[in-house]
Amino acid sequence: MILEIKNLKKKFDNQEVLKDVSLTVDKGEVICVLGSSGSGKSTLLRCINLLNNYDDGEILFNGKNILDANVNELRSKIGMVFQSFNLFNNLNVLKNCMVGQTKVLKKNKEEARAKALETLELVGMSDFINKNVKQLSGGQKQRVAIARSLCMEPDIILFDEPTSALDPEMVGEVLNVIKKVKETGVTMIIVTHEMQFAKEVSSRVLFMNDGVILEDSPTKEFFTNPKNDRTKEFLKRYLDNKVND
C-alpha cells in the first residue's frame, strides 16, 4: 500500500469540499477519479501533495503521515500534472525537465540531461528540446509537463484534469502518452472527464459526488454494474451523449 487516506475532511471557508474521504492505493495501480465539477476531485489530489492543507483526517504515504514528512522531499516523490500545464516559462523544454533534478535531487547536469532526454523521448518530444515553451501547442506542453514530472522518478503521479484545457484534437496525443507512462509501472491517480480513456487505462475507478466517494470499484465493474444510483445516472448521461454523437 503506497497511499492511505483516512477520513479526510476539508472546508473552504464554510463550504465542505471533502466530507470524510477514505481511500487506499496500492503500488502500480492506475486509478481514475470521475465525477462532476465541484465534487472535490481536484482538492483531493491537491491534499495528497499538500498543495492544499486539510482540516481533519490523515494521509499516509508509504506508511508515514505526510504531515510529519519534509514537505519538499514528499513532493519530489509525488508528481503532479496540472490542467493548465504550468511549464516554467523562463526555461526551454529540456531545462524544464532538468531543473527539478539539479535543484531538488542534486543530480549533476549530465545525469539530469540524460534522464530528461530519456523521458522526453518517452513522451515523443525529443525534437523540441531546445524550444521555448511558449512555442509549443497545448498538447505538446502537457506532454513536456508529464516528462518533467517523470524526471523526478516519483512513486506516484497525480493528474489533475490533464486534458481539460486542450483542443479536442490534442486530447488523444496526451492520453496516449499517459498510457505509455502506465507501462513504466508508476502508480497514477487521474482526475478526468474522459470516460473512454478511464475505461481503457485504469484498473479502478472512483466516482466522487459532493465531497464523498460514492463508488470505488474495479473499472470493469464500474462501467457494467455500478452499485450507486447517482453513478448509474452519471453513466447513463455519458452513454446517452455518446449515442447522440
115 belongs to the binding site for another protein (CB under 8 A): no
137 belongs to the binding site for another protein (CB under 8 A): yes
DSSP class per residue in 155-199:
SEEEEESTTTTS-HHHHHHHHHHHHHHHHTT-EEEEE-S-HHHHH
Q: Contact region for another protein (CB under 8 A) — 16-24, 59-67, 74-82, 177-185?
A: 74-82
64 belongs to the binding site for another protein (CB under 8 A): no
79 belongs to the binding site for another protein (CB under 8 A): yes
Residues whose CB falls within 8 Å of the CB of residue 241, separated by 6 or more in sequence, listed in order: none
Cβ nearer to another protein, comparing 173 with 216: 173
Neighbours of 85 (CB within 10 A): 21
138 belongs to the binding site for another protein (CB under 8 A): yes
If binding means CB under 8 A, how many residues of this protein chain bind another protein? 39
143 belongs to the binding site for another protein (CB under 8 A): no
14 belongs to the binding site for another protein (CB under 8 A): no
Say if residues 97 and 79 touch (Cβ distance below 8 Å). Answer: no
208 closest CA partner among 29, 11, 37, 56 = 37
Q: Least Å distance between CB 65 and another protein?
A: 18
Within residues 23-52, the interface with another protein by CB under 8 A covers 49, 51
List residues binding another protein (CB under 8 A).
49, 51, 72-77, 79-80, 82, 84-91, 99-100, 103-105, 132, 134-139, 145, 148-149, 152, 165-167, 170
